[in-house]
Amino acid sequence: MDFKVDGKTVAVIGGGLEGCRKIQNFLNSTAEITVISNEFSEGIKILAEQGKIRLHQAEIKDEQKFIDQLNPKPDMLLAVTNNSELNAKLVRAAKNVGCIVYCVTDPALSDFILPAIAHVGDVKIAVSTGGKSPAMARELRQRIEKLVTPEDLLEIELQAYLRKLLKNSILDQRIRSRFLNEILNNVDIKQALREGNLCMAKELSLKLVQNKEATAT
């Protein structure tokens, strides 16, 4: 599941390194992100200086009162302090006012899991250990990122180009999918992509499209 948080409000309680890591999941959206803490890490301060997040300095003594006073109420609240008791009280209080919640110290209290996300070009792969080992999730994410090659990224561009083109000439989606798979496994096209020559790959693909159209008629 990939939450669409554009235009939503996200409150991150905790200004340390873990808070900085979790914020990364939302930076590519238009969500309004507010980090609330009595202290902030350098990474979080830099994000605030760049205008990507807002900071609110506060020390929380009464969790329910604190949540009740938030205005507007966040759509999503992340409790990422190093105090497990405080995190638990915060997410329970936030649930009382209808927030979707995440608790870094107790996954069982969370409404969702934040996986480690591998971003390579247009490729996005989520890695999760079910909250058992965030460190291992990050390690696996780094390994996966190394597996995605420049050839793979060019193949994505080629397939996007051809899908748009073929929608007008091959109306049957099943036939279109089979043809796209043929192109995906074409030796000459794969060689062109391996050499970084997207233009040549498009030319070769267009010849196959023309042959397919000629055969169809």
CA distance 140 to 126: 10
| Residue whose token pair is 């930076």 | 27
Q: What angle do CA 89, 95, 101 make, to 5 degrees?
A: 85
User: Which is higher by pLDDT, 128 or 49?
Assistant: 49
pLDDT tens profile 166-194: 887 777 888 888 889 999 999 999 999 99
Confidence category of residue 213, pLDDT binned at 50, 70, 90: low
Q: Lowest-confidence range among 86-90, 100-104, 206-210?
A: 206-210
What does the buried/exposed string (b/e) look like for 178-211 if buried means 16 or more CB atoms within 10 Å of the residue's CB? Answer: ebbeebeebeebbebbeeeebeebbebbeebbee
pLDDT tens profile 92-144: 999 999 999 999 999 889 998 877 777 778 787 878 777 778 788 888 888 88
